[in-house]
C-alpha cells in the first residue's frame, strides 16, 4: 500500500480504531468469544480451515472473529499465519477406510454395507426459520433441546470441554467402502495407484504449472473457494461436461494422522483430523478391449463440508476427460480456468486492489482521452489540421 496524501498514516490508524469498534458492535451486547465461534459455528470454522489449509479450529475461530465474519478475510488471515510456521516433516498417506465415522450416506444402495449413518445434517430439516433460537435465556428450555423434540443430547464417553464432537455420537471406526463390492466385480474402475506412481506435487511449495496431474488438481480444489467450486460442479450437471453422477459414498469423520520419526523408523499416530470424503460414480466407459465400467470422481476436504466435497468430485471427474477420450470445451474441464480462479485469497486481492490509489494512472489516461477527443473535434486553435484517432482499449497501467 502507498500513501499519496498528507495525513494518510493518521487516517489509516483512525480506520483501524473504527474497525475495532465495528467488530465489537453494541457494547451493551455480550461480546462473542472465540470459544463460542469454535463450538457453535462449526461449519463456518470448518470452511475457513479447509480454504486456508490449516486444520486448527481455535485459530480458525480467531480469524473469523478478527475478520467480523468475513470468510475470505478469515482465510487470508489464517493462510498468512500458515506461512510463518516451520515445516518439520511429512505425514504418511491418510487411510480414510479407517475413518471414525460421524456421518455416512450413499444414494445408490438401499442396504448399505455398514449401514447409513445420518449424523448431523440439514438434509432432513424444513427450511423454516426457528424462532425458538432467539431465546438466549439459559434458564429456559434451550432451542437445541426443543429442536430435538424435547430430548436432551445423548452423553458420549469422549465428550470434552472445547470439543464439538461431544454434541454428537460416534459412529463405527472403519466403515466398509460402499463401492468395494462393485470394484471386486469389475463394474467400477479400480483406484490402485499405477506402478511407479510419482510423488505428488506440493502446491504450497511449487507454483502450479498447467496441465496439472490429478493430485495437484485435487490439492487446488481442496482449498478453493467453496462457492466457486460449487458453481463449477453445478455447471457439469447442467450440461457443461455432463457426467451423469451418483453419490456413491459420502462420509464425514476423523482420520488418524501418522508420521515416521527418523529415530524410530516406523509410523506412529500423532492425532486425528476431521475430513469429509466423497466418492462419486459417473457414467461408464468402455471400448472393444475394455468392458463397460463406471468411472469415478473424488473429493476430500478438511472439516465437515459435504457440499464442497461433492462439488469437488464432480469437477474432478470432468477434468479427467482426456483419460477417457471424451469431448472437452466446458469451463469445468479447463484446468487453468477452473483452478486458477478458485483461490479466494488471490481473487480477493486482484479485485480489492482496485480500491487502492490509482491517481497517477487515471490522470495519465484522462489526459490521453482529452487529447484524443480534441484531435477528433477538428483543427486546433493554431489552425493545424488533426485527423481522427482510435482510442486504445487500454493505454496501460500498473495492472
Q: Tens digits of per-residue pLDDT, 327-367?
A: 999 999 999 999 999 999 999 999 999 999 899 999 999 99
pTM of the entire predicted model: 0.85
pLDDT in tens, 244-290: 899 999 999 999 999 999 999 999 999 999 999 999 999 888 777 78
Structural domain ending residue among the three candidates 307, 322, 347:
347
Identify the domain containing residue 371 by its residue range: 358-399
Confidence class for position 140, pLDDT limits 50, 70, 90: low
Share of the chain above pLDDT 70, in %: 84
What is the percent of the chain where pLDDT is above 90? Answer: 70
Q: Which residue has the higher pLDDT, 182 or 169?
A: 182
Distance from chain centroid for Cα 296 = 20
Describe the strand order of the beta sheet including 100-105 as a list of residue ranges: 100-105, 246-259, 268-285, 293-302
Whether the per-residue pLDDT at 215 is higher than 60: the answer is yes
How would residue 388 be classed by pLDDT, with cut points 50, 70 and 90? very low
Are 75 and 187 in the same domain?
no
Q: State the chain's mean pLDDT as an integer.
A: 86
Residues 6+ apart with CB under 8 A from 309: 250, 276, 277, 278, 299, 300, 301
On whether both 105 and 16 belong to a single domain, the answer is: no
Question: Same structural domain for residues 57 and 116?
Answer: no
Q: What are the distances in angstroms from CA 271 to CA 55, 67, 165, 304, 385?
A: 12, 29, 15, 17, 80
In a domain, residue 198? The reply is no
The verdict on 364 and 343 lying in the same domain is no
Q: What is the pLDDT of residues 64-109, one digit of tens each?
A: 999 999 999 999 999 999 999 998 889 999 999 999 999 999 999 9
Q: Say whether both 301 and 394 belong to one domain.
A: no
Provide the number of structural domains found in the chain: 3
Amino acid at each position: 500500500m502507498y500513501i499519496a496524501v498528507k495525513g494518510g498514516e493518521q487516517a489509516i490508524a483512525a480506520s483501524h480504531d473504527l474497525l475495532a469498534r465495528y467488530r465489537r458492535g453494541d457494547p451493551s451486547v455480550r461480546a462473542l468469544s472465540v470459544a463460542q465461534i469454535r463450538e457453535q459455528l462449526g461449519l463456518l470454522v470448518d470452511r475457513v480451515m479447509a480454504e486456508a489449509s490449516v486444520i486448527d479450529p481455535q485459530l480458525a475461530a480467531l480469524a473469523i472473529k478478527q475478520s467480523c465474519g468475513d470468510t475470505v478475510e478469515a482465510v487470508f488471515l489464517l493462510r498468512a499465519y500458515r506461512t510463518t510456521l516451520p515445516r518439520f516433516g511429512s505425514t504418511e498417506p491418510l487411510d480414510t477406510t479407517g475413518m471414525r465415522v460421524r456421518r455416512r450416506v450413499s444414494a445408490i444402495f438401499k442396504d448399505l454395507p455398514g449401514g447409513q449413518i445420518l449424523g448431523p445434517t440439514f438434509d432432513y430439516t424444513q427450511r423454516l426459520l426457528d424462532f425458538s433460537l432467539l431465546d438466549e435465556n439459559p434458564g429456559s428450555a434451550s432451542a437445541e433441546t426443543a429442536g430435538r423434540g424435547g430430548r436432551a443430547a445423548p452423553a458420549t464417553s469422549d465428550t470434552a470441554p472445547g470439543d464439538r464432537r461431544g454434541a454428537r455420537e460416534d459412529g463405527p471406526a472403519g466403515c466398509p467402502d460402499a463401492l468395494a463390492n462393485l470394484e471386486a466385480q469389475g463394474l467400477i474402475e479400480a483406484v490402485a495407484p499405477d506402478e511407479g506412481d510419482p510423488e505428488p506435487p506440493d502446491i504450497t511449495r511449487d507454483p502450479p504449472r498447467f496441465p496439472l496431474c490429478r493430485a495437484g488438481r485435487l490439492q487446488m480444489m481442496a482449498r478453493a473457494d467453496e462457492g466457486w467450486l460449487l458453481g463449477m460442479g453445478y455447471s457439469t450437471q447442467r450440461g457443461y461436461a455432463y457426467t451423469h453422477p451418483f453419490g456413491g459414498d459420502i462420509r464425514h469423520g476423523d482420520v488418524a494422522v501418522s508420521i515416521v520419526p527418523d529415530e524410530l523408523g516406523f509410523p506412529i499416530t500423532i492425532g486425528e483430523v476431521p475430513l469429509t470424503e466423497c466418492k462419486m460414480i459417473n457414467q461408464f466407459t468402455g471400448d472393444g478391449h475394455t468392458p463397460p465400467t463406471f468411472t469415478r470422481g473424488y473429493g476430500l476436504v478438511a472439516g465437515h463440508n459435504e457440499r464442497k466435497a461433492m462439488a469437488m468430485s464432480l469437477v474432478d471427474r470432468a477434468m479427467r476427460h482426456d483419460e477417457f477420450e471424451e469431448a472437452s470445451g466446458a469451463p469445468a474441464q479447463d484446468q487453468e480456468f477452473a483452478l486458477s480462479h478458485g483461490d479466494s485469497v488471490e481473487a480477493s486481492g486482484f479485485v480489492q486492489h482496485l480500491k487502492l490509489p490509482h491517481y497517477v494512472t487515471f490522470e495519465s489516461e484522462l489526459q490521453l482521452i482529452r487529447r484524443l477527443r480534441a484531435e477528433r473535434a477538428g483543427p486546433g486553435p493554431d489552425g493545424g489540421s488533426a485527423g481522427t484517432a482510435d482510442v486504445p482499449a487500454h493505454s496501460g497501467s500498473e495492472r
